[in-house]
Amino acid sequence: MKLLKTDCGIVLDIYVKPNSREFKIQDELDGLVVHCREPPAKGRVNRELIKELAKVFKKKVEIASGFTSKQKKILILDISVDEVYQAISELTQA
C-alpha cells in the first residue's frame, strides 16, 4: 500500500474495480484494490468511492487525481498514517 503524507492529510494510491457485487477493500501485493458496485459512467463510481471511503475513515475524502482512470489518488483530510493503517486492517480482516 502506497501512502504519501501531506500538510492536508494522507494521499492513498488505489485501483478501482467497478461493477462489483459489493463494496469492499482488498490489500493486495501490488496495492489497495477497491471494489465498487456502481458502473463507470457519469461519475457514479467516484461518488460511491468518496461516500464509502468517508464512512471507512470517518474523515472527509477527495479524489486528488485519476477522475477518469481506474488508478486514483485519494486524499484523506486530517488523518494520521496510523489511523489509515488501522482502518484498512480492520476492513481487510473482517
| Residue pLDDT, tens place only, 31-80 | 899 999 999 999 999 999 999 999 999 999 999 999 999 999 999 999 99
More confident residue, 94 or 61: 61
What the chain holds in terms of domains, given with CATH numbers, is 3-93 (3.30.1200.10)
79 neighbors 9 (Cβ within 8 angstroms): yes
C-alpha cell at 35: 471494489
Q: Per residue in 58-77, is it b (16+ CB within 10 Å) or e — as a string?
A: ebebebbebeeeeebbbbbe
Dihedral-angle region of residue 49 (phi above 0 means left; psi in -120 to 50 means alpha; beta otherwise):
alpha
How far is 64 from 88, CA to CA, in rounded Å?
19
